[in-house]
Structure 1
Amino acid sequence: MREHEVYSKLRAPPSSRMILRLDGRGFHRLTESLDFDRPYDEAFRDLMIRTCLDLMEEFSPSLIYTFSDEINVLLDSVPFAGRVEKLDSVFSGFASSSFTRGALEAGFSPVKPVSFDCRVIPISSDIVPEYFRSRQDESWRNCLNSYAYWTLRREVGARRAAERLRGLKSDSLHDLLFERGVNISRVPVWQRRGVGVYRVPHRVRGYNPLRDEEVSAVRMRVKVDLELPLFTDEFFEGLMR
């Protein structure tokens, strides 16, 4: 029956770098059922970060970038011999299980099973910064639109809020929020730019008993960056060193 497994030989280019983009499936209903704050909730953010940390420990990517219910995983090498079926299923299943375990441990009880979908994006090193800048731009648009919608929804309800916001440009959304006391440029950085999870060098001190002296060494440790800078070429050059 193997001849019916028509996608089993579909593979990503082995020489490329790779991004796995995970998106929460039906997470607007999930966040509503768990009574998370809108437009942003730190408990939900922490569950997404917990999922990123589990992915970092399991697969050792060079960068994980998350905002809203989206996770982008940057891999320097292609696992599973590039088999797309395997990449899609393993990463989406792992993220779904990690998020569910984290939610239960935090005292939340999802009504329905939690799931992520996954897309495989082979990419050359020279356009990695461009990709992540585009996702960070999307994080900013999501922040602006979410604040505008939920601020207006509390005034006029869901239907009328959606009607009034339809077609508005970013300048108009800025003005709408500012008139209601929200300076969008001053909301927390993680809401505007997303959260990064990556390794940074860290100097540790120890003791050499043979030479009876203190010694130091550089180790890499995982950093959760809630004040992520705007993505630049220099940022990614630092990751690749």
Structure 2
Amino acid sequence: MNLGDLMKDYEIYSTMKVPKNSKIILRLDGRKFHSLARALKLSKPYDDRFYKIIANVCIDIFNQFSPKFIYAFSDEISILLDEIPFSARVEKINSVFSSIASSSFTYHLLNDYSSEFNLDKLSDNDRNIVFPISFDSRIIPIDDESIAKYFKWRQDEAWRNCINGYGIWALKKEYGTKEANEKIKGLNSNEIHDLLFERGINLNDIDTWKKRGIGIYKKSWEIEGFNPVKGEKTVSTRSEVYVDYELEIFNREFFNNLK
């Protein structure tokens, strides 16, 4: 046995694979994005620029792998795959998807928003916090019956983030950060709703994507034309990658209708 073959024996996880004939959800999470948010001075409670970057990351992933559906909120991205790449190798899937997300986020931050975030004026300390940008990745095997439940679970978490984010943001206007965080602890959703309403903030009026996240999927539509040779109308189908900022509350029918 040569040295190369001997060393490959140490790669004990390289043959680990996703179960055959299964769907998977790949969940990516930004690493240390709370620190990144502080270094970039992201607007609170939501920064439109940040979410546009996340949307572009999702589009880049979609264009590479044509998943069934991608859902994102905060720095979390869930990718539904029914065709599993890389011969279903776990190491390969996790490493490639997380690296694409990291490089895509870096690319769009530097090329689309460098001046808006004043990246050239970052202190050395903040630059070390922001770069390198990285995502971690985990694989979740899932059956058809559980897909809607999974995404509803994550969408509920997006809603909780929204309520808490607005609650802390509102209280920080009146109190210090530590006191605002203490006051929000233990409050249920209705109590935070009331707290915000007393301060002129109605969560029913804020953007849907802040409450429910964003979805990326293929959207199709029909185009009518005319065939001059046959002298008759024609109908063709077009499709494109669509970013949905007005998601409905997830249910099984939503996922049954995905192309």
TM-score (norm 2): 0.88
Q: Which amino acid aligns with 2:27?
A: R
Q: Which amino acid aligns with 2:160?
A: R
Tell me which of 29, 36, 39 is aligned to 1:30. 36
Conserved 8 A contact 1:202-1:221: no
- Structure 1 unaligned runs (5+)? none
> Which range is displaced more, 67-76 or 102-111?
102-111
Q: Structure 2 CA distance, aligned partners of 1:190 and 1:203? A: 27
- 1:80 maps to which residue? 86
Secondary structure class of the residue paired with 1:239:
coil
For residues 72-117 of structure 1, what are the alpha-carbon distances to aligned partners after superposition, in whole Å with 9 as ceiling and x for unaligned? 1111122112111001100000010111101111132364211111
- Return the offset for 1:27: 1.0
- 2:76 maps to which residue? 70
Higher Rg of the two aligned structures: 2
- 1:234 maps to which residue? 253
Q: Structure 2 CA distance, aligned partners of 1:9 and 1:210? A: 57
Aligned Cα root-mean-square deviation (Å):
1.5
Conserved 8 A contact 1:202-1:218: yes
- 1:55 maps to which residue? 61
- Return the offset for 1:154: 2.1
Conserved 8 A contact 1:14-1:81: no
Tell me which of 153, 171, 177 is aligned to 2:172. 153
The question of 1:91 aligning with 2:110 is answered no
Conserved 8 A contact 1:196-1:225: yes
- Return the offset for 1:47: 0.3
How many positions carry a matched residue from both structures?
Answer: 240
The question of 1:16 aligning with 2:22 is answered yes
Q: Which amino acid aligns with 1:222?
A: V
Q: Structure 1 CA distance, aligned partners of 2:210 and 2:113? A: 24
- Return the offset for 1:185: 2.0
Secondary structure class of the residue paired with 2:44:
coil
Identity %: 47
- Structure 2 unaligned runs (5+)? 1-6, 120-126
Secondary structure class of the residue paired with 2:257:
helix
